[in-house]
Each structure stands twice: as structure tokens, then as C-alpha cells.
Chain A
Amino acid sequence: NAGVTQTPKFQVLKTGQSMTLQCAQDMNHEYMSWYRQDPGMGLRLIHYSVGAGITDQGEVPNGYNVSRSTTEDFPLRLLSAAPSQTSVYFCASSYSGVTEAFFGQGTRLTVV
């Protein structure tokens, strides 16, 4: 079972570059979300989606864009990378917003 798949696993960007973190799930889950994990800050919600075509902001949305054109995919776009966006990014999915959440293996991003 693939579950939640994130690509790439590692990425180094220069300040100002843009990129897209990919997330795909094969469980037909409606709810998908992106978190970032930083030492001392824990996991914080960036953006989430309750279904295809519907997205909303989480706790730390600035500098990130999302879209949800299909149930399976929920990409996260960094518009102009900054060193403060150095972090580990996790994508999660669940059947609904209050059912068991499943996480991907993460993308470790470094912005220099």
C-alpha cells in the first residue's frame, strides 16, 4: 500500500527560487493538509483542503500556495524561497478532518 507519497525527499534551494513539493494519496481521502516541523516549534499547519477544489489557510500560510484539482494530489508551492522556510514538510490525509490522519515520509528542505 502506497498511502501518502511525498516527493522529493530532500531539496536544496537558493533564496528566491520557487519549487513545488508533491503529495499524492491513494486512499480516496477527502481531507489533505501540509505541516512543517521545526525544532522547538513542533508541527504547524500550513494549508489544508477538505476536498477537490477547496483549500484554506492554516496557522503559517505566508509564502506558500496550494491547489487541489484532484482528490489524489495536493501540491505545495513555495513562491520565493527564504531561509526561514528551511524545514521538514509533511503531507497528511484522512477520510474526513476528524478521522485517523496518515502522514507521508516528509521532504527535508534547505534554503541557502
Chain B
Amino acid sequence: KQEVTQIPAALSVPEGENLVLNCSFTDSAIYNLQWFRQDPGKGLTSLLLIQSSQREQTSGRLNASLDKSSGRSTLYIAASQPGDSATYLCAGHAGGTSYGKLTFGQGTILTVHP
């Protein structure tokens, strides 16, 4: 059974810092990996999808990498801003008999203070 772990559980940084959020998964047969952002009381907003054939994906100040052999993904946020404060979730897309199932980590709560 796929298990996804996110470290750290919470992170507080001053504005302007570069930071890294970590996501690890137990089953390397993961198909794709997706990073989401969730604001309090809101839905999940897709940030980046890394396909199994890719090693990284970039969108603006965000860069996500995927290393299936080590079971790890990282989300790098450059020049953090208070508006980046949210919960960040990673989720693995399963293939095969678990096709379509997303397995989520517990999330990292990020606070960026001015």
C-alpha cells in the first residue's frame, strides 16, 4: 500500500527566504506526482504535475522535482511571500490496478511572515 509522508509538518519563515518542502513515497511504481496548495477552508489548487518520465517541473517561483528511484519529491519555493502561506500537499497518482487513485501526504503548513 502506497504511503506518502511530508516533512516538515509545519514551517515558519521570514519573507524572502527560499525554502524546500519534502515528500516521500513508499511505492516507486507511482505514476505521476502532483503538488497542491490548500488555503484554510478552501479547496485544493493544483500547483504542478510531474509526469513519471520527467524529473522536474517549473511554474514561476515554484520548482518541483521527482526521483522515483529514491521515492522522493521536493517542492522548492523561491523568494517566499506572505501570500504563499497555506498548506501544501503532495499526492501520488497510481497506475495499474489502483489506476487513478491519488494518495495524499498529510501536508506541510507553511507560514511566511513579513
Contact = CB atoms under 8 A, between A and B. Distances in A.
Interface stretch (A40-48, A63-71, A72-80): A40-48
A100 B46 CA distance: 8
Interface size class of A (residues with CB under 8 A): 20 to 34
B95 A106 contact: no
Interface string B84-107: 000001010101000111101111
Contact of B102 (A50, A101, A104, A105): A101
A31 B100 contact: yes
Interface in B45-63: 45-46, 49
A50 B100 contact: yes
Contacts of B36: 103
Interface of B: 31-32, 34, 36, 42-46, 49, 89, 91, 93, 95, 99-102, 104-107
Contacts of A102: 46
Contacts, number: 58
Nearest to A44: B104
Given A42-B104, A48-B101, A98 B43 contact: no
A98 B32 contact: yes
Interface of A: 31, 33, 35, 40, 42-43, 45, 48, 50, 58-59, 90, 92, 94, 96-106
B105 A42 contact: yes
Contacts of A58: 101
A98 B104 contact: no
Contacts of B43: 90, 103-106
